[in-house]
């Protein structure tokens, strides 16, 4: 009996320890898209090391399951050599622009230089949505292997991205919170009837069930707007029309990212233009079609928050 009691006590203590560990363990974060620029290396002693460091970092970080790296060819295609030439001079303001064009949530750049008899590599990690900046540094003897130093720096960068991800990336609010805020903004106002027609394409092909139109219509209905379509007896007071498209961005293992853009205009029956807006969004999923649909849905939801208050009187 005494042995049984001791075993039971040990079991309870073990389960309690596991419960505490489970509660304290951080929630898994979705992979972050990271763009790595050439590091600045101006002095004669290190003039050729900047691009090499960037290439080595890209190779090391691409093996991390929590990071999706933007390939050099993709950066060149989207930004051109002028933007890539910014290297270590990338600022938080520039980062926001680069993030918008490439879908990268984090930019990595920095400098390579020699100080006394040491080779130093300093990295700057910038959140494109929050403008938050973190720094990491590695150093060694002047004759140190650039491969080894870059590998050590990659580990530090990966750790920073993982630990500080919530400050590098803008907080993602729930759909319920967004709907509640829209409802509050139109509360007590006269809501017009609305029709929604958004053409949608993915890879140049028409889509049978457009995600952007569906999401915007759903939000309108949830916020109290009367919806009209071609079968309605009466025409809508306001017509929302536009175009939406999505495209494959990149693949990392089993994950696929797609980028979408939605462009809308809201117009009264009288012809008066109420609003014109557009939004670009990037999402990641295990299938291309789902990633594309989700990106379109997200872009439409972000536009809705700005657009709907302009429709109410």
CA distance 80 to 172: 30
In-domain check, residue 109: yes
In-domain check, residue 74: yes
Name the pLDDT band for 101 (thresholds 50, 70, 90). Answer: confident
**CATH number of the domain encompassing residue 103:** 3.40.50.10070
Min mean pLDDT across 56-65, 113-122, 284-293, 298-307 is at: 284-293
In-domain check, residue 236: yes
Do 181 and 301 belong together in one domain? yes
The angle subtended at Cα 199 by Cα 196 and Cα 205, nearest 5°, is: 155
Name the pLDDT band for 81 (thresholds 50, 70, 90). Answer: low
Q: What is the pLDDT, as a whole number, of residue 206?
A: 65
Q: What is the pLDDT, as a whole number, of residue 90?
A: 67
What is the domain extent for residue 268? 175-311
Of the candidates 125, 144, 168, which is a domain's last residue? 168
Place of tokens 């319920």: 176
**CATH number of the domain encompassing residue 235:** 3.30.160.150
Do 78 and 204 belong together in one domain? no
Do 162 and 188 belong together in one domain? no
Query: How many distinct structural domains can be found in the chain?
Result: 2
Of the candidates 120, 142, 168, which is a domain's last residue? 168
> Tokens in use for 6?
């001791």
CA distance 282 to 246: 9
Strand order in the sheet with 67-69: 67-69, 32-36, 106-115, 118-127, 133-141
Tens of pLDDT, residues 23-73: 333 445 678 889 898 898 888 888 889 889 999 999 999 889 889 888 877
Between the ranges 11-20, 76-85, 101-110, 114-123, where is the mean pLDDT highest? 114-123
**Phi, psi values for residue 233, rounded to 5°:** -70, -35
In-domain check, residue 273: yes
In-domain check, residue 25: no
Do 42 and 160 belong together in one domain? yes
In-domain check, residue 14: no
């Amino acid at each position: 009996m005494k042995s049984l009691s001791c075993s039971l006590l040990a079991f309870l203590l073990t389960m309690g320890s596991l419960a505490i560990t489970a509660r304290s363990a951080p929630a898994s974060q979705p992979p972050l898209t990271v763009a790595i620029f050439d590091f600045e290396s101006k002095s004669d002693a290190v003039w050729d090391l900047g691009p090499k460091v960037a290439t080595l970092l890209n190779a090391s970080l691409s093996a991390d399951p929590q990071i999706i790296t933007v390939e050099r060819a993709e950066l060149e295609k989207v930004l051109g050599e002028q933007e890539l030439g910014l290297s270590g001079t990338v600022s938080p303001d520039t980062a926001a622009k680069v993030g918008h064009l490439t879908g990268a949530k984090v930019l990595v750049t920095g400098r390579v230089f020699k100080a006394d008899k040491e080779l130093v590599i300093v990295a700057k990690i910038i959140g494109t949505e929050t403008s938050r900046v973190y720094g990491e540094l590695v150093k060694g003897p002047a004759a140190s292997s650039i491969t080894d130093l870059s590998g050590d720096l990659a580990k530090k960068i990966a750790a920073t991205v993982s630990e500080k991800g919530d400050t590098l990336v803008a907080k993602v609010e729930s759909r319920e919170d967004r709907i509640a805020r829209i409802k509050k903004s139109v509360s007590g106002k006269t809501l017009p009837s609305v029709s929604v027609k958004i053409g949608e394409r993915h890879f140049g092909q028409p889509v049978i069930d457009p995600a952007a139109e569906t999401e915007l219509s759903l939000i309108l209905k949830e916020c109290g707007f009367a919806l009209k379509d071609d079968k309605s007896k009466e025409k809508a007071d306001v017509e929302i029309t536009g175009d939406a498209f999505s495209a494959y961005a990149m693949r990392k293992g089993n994950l696929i990212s797609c980028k979408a853009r939605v462009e809308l205009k809201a117009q009264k029956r009288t012809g008066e233009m109420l609003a014109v807006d557009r939004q670009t969004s990037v999402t990641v999923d295990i299938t291309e079609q789902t990633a594309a649909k989700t990106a379109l849905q997200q872009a439409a939801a972000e536009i809705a928050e700005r657009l709907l208050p302009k429709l109410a009187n």
